Structure 1
């Protein structure tokens, strides 16, 4: 799984991901004919770890994050220590380290220079620090059905919090302690959110983008959403992809596994 966000091109942003969060710059590419450049960052090799693709569109100096994007989450064995490290690197701490309300799990929140929120989550064992992406949805049950049917994700945990008027569902291909997961958040009574112009899409590998697109197309007819890019090679790279919007307007790209491995060569 790959999380793609749109960013401005500046040194503080790069330093936040590499020096403050401890990610590695995995690779870069420039596609001048399409007027964009990418930097891929993560905590390990893309064959076995999830990554963030930072996309810079030529000449664009700002983006609106909107209010629908929740956060990325980073797992660590010591949230207090990581918060102090981020603070020392000039990071913006928006919630100090401490137990979650009503629980014992230690968390904190920080923001990158472009306004994306990162949750820091303390865990005794960390397989891949990049552990979660959180999106807000207007109809939780519809969203769950969509991702189950379109992508084969499974609900691994669901929590209702009537006191704070929200419900979350964690979806993944494995248990949340073992893999990066998608968190869908429903805030009571809120049916629409601004997507802004910043967050781009989640990218997931598939062995056949054409067959996957057929499945997604059937699901969109039942539950809403739409195919936004018919399956085929993308200009400048020749990697086969297809992309679609879920019923809430969040975008997902499906990427041919074999083509993706060629990109890594």
Structure 2
């Protein structure tokens, strides 16, 4: 469905300072938006937590035409357990290769692909090639049964198959946008406590029909169609689903999301202000304690 597009992947992070440094200095991304919240998201964007949290959007360009990363930080939580659900994000960029060398970031190289791991344990695969448009090529997830996964994402969500092997499939909505690859791991998918979420946009009038389809197919709906308010910004409608392996999928109304997701020139300063005002790392260090693990 050409009217749908991939938006972002959500990571939970425990150390904002090191994470911000990684995305800025190693991946060379820009912070596009930053928001602080006093209570948990109605759609559980920050996970199953009710307290204070922040959201930072980071990528290589505006969200209108780039796939980006959403970093959610829950105050007081210092780490999350990574499962086998998220396998990595592939990026094509010679500049990132240079940044890895310049910053002495630990990396492994195999078959020309450089693998690095962000603070928090999320993998990125860097291909030594510069391409036109968005450097983010694909998000790679694990699945337990490839045929079930293909059926769900193509028949129910309308994705196109771009390539397929016995153990993997590459799917997408658009030829020149970020793709989604599933690798059949042959074991149950463990989302642990770091479980992420992938988001897509579609015309707002498709959301009720999408929800109805999932009801008729007896598929899991995590959050029925709901409106989310961002103070001073657009109100967006979302429905959140789960595929056969429990991967969380957010569909958001495209029209309002384009308004909501405009680049904020203050994003960097807002993030830096949030980092400066968050004294929790200093407090825990001073008292020889560690932040809670999720």
For the criterion TM > 0.5, the same-fold answer is yes
Aligned-pair CA distance for 1:193: 2.2
Aligned-pair CA distance for 1:16: 0.6
- Which of 216, 226, 230 does residue 232 from structure 1 map onto? 226
More displaced stretch, 7-16 vs 41-50: 7-16
Aligned-pair CA distance for 1:217: 2.8
Quickly say closer, same or farther: Cα 1:124–1:19, change in 2 above 3 A: closer
Contact 1:92-1:112 within 8 A present in 2 as well: no
Instruction: Report 1:208-227 matches (<5 A).
Output: 208=204, 209-219=207-217, 221=218, 225-227=219-221
- 1:102 alignment counterpart: none
For 1:247 and 1:49, locate their aligned partners in 2 and report how far apart those are by CA, in whole Å: 27
For 2:130 and 2:18, locate their aligned partners in 1 and report how far apart those are by CA, in whole Å: 30
Which TM-score applies when normalising by structure 1?
0.84
- 1:181 alignment counterpart: 179
For 2:195 and 2:106, locate their aligned partners in 1 and report how far apart those are by CA, in whole Å: 19
For 1:253 and 1:143, locate their aligned partners in 2 and report how far apart those are by CA, in whole Å: 17
For 1:72 and 1:62, locate their aligned partners in 2 and report how far apart those are by CA, in whole Å: 20
3-state SS in 1 of match to 2:199: strand
Contact 1:39-1:55 within 8 A present in 2 as well: yes
For 2:131 and 2:229, locate their aligned partners in 1 and report how far apart those are by CA, in whole Å: 41
- 1:5 alignment counterpart: 11
Aligned residues: 240
3-state SS in 2 of match to 1:196: coil
- 1:48 alignment counterpart: 65
For 1:191 and 1:217, locate their aligned partners in 2 and report how far apart those are by CA, in whole Å: 27
3-state SS in 2 of match to 1:125: coil
Which TM-score applies when normalising by structure 2?
0.76
3-state SS in 2 of match to 1:44: coil
Quickly say closer, same or farther: Cα 1:244–1:20, change in 2 above 3 A: same
| Unaligned ranges ≥5, structure 1 | 100-105, 161-166
3-state SS in 2 of match to 1:61: strand
3-state SS in 2 of match to 1:230: strand
More displaced stretch, 52-61 vs 255-264: 255-264
- 1:202 alignment counterpart: 198
- Which of 60, 82, 99 does residue 85 from structure 1 map onto? 99
Deviation per CA, 1:198-252, whole angstroms, max 9, x where unpaired? 1320010121322221223334x2xxx4001000113656421110110001010
Aligned-pair CA distance for 1:107: 1.1
For 1:42 and 1:52, locate their aligned partners in 2 and report how far apart those are by CA, in whole Å: 6
Alignment of 1:19 with 2:17, yes or no, is no
- Which of 115, 126, 137 does residue 131 from structure 1 map onto? 137
Q: Which has the higher contact order (CA 8 A, sep 6+)?
A: 2
Contact 2:239-2:252 within 8 A present in 1 as well: yes
Aligned-pair CA distance for 1:84: 4.3
User: Structure 1 stretches (4+) deviating beyond 6 angstroms?
Assistant: none
- 2:257 alignment counterpart: 260
Contact 2:30-2:60 within 8 A present in 1 as well: yes
| Unaligned ranges ≥5, structure 2 | 1-6, 41-51, 263-294
More displaced stretch, 111-120 vs 202-211: 202-211
For 2:39 and 2:184, locate their aligned partners in 1 and report how far apart those are by CA, in whole Å: 40
Aligned-pair CA distance for 1:149: 2.2
